[in-house]
Amino acid sequence: MEGVRACERGETTSSLSLLTRAASVASPSRQASVLNNRAQVRRLVGDLAGATSDLDEAIVLSGGSGRAARQAYCQRGKREDARPPLRQV
């Protein structure tokens, strides 16, 4: 994803713009992943409220389960919610 690569190059303004655009056209399941990435960039630039908002929205869009939700919970600091439930055998 170009937004992630821009951030890796230190181009956070460009990264945020690219990720915002990607989130606006992505399907809901893909949008959750994009919002996780944007939250990381927002955190890097000191926008903690924006990062938290993106993570909350990612959890809602993902239905609170799956990889995007686990990543969002982990970034929010709720690691116990990030672990997939154990399956009974």
Lowest mean pLDDT among 7-11, 75-79, 81-85: 81-85
Q: 3-class DSSP state for residue 60?
A: helix
pTM of the predicted structure, to 2 decimals:
0.83
pLDDT digits (tens, 9 = 90+) for 32-76: 999 999 999 999 999 999 999 999 999 999 998 899 999 999 988
Cα torsion angle, 34, 22, 24, 13, sign? positive
Question: Which residues 6+ apart lie within 8 Å of 46 measured at CB?
Answer: none
Comparing 84 with 51, the larger pLDDT belongs to 51
2-79 fold:
1.25.40
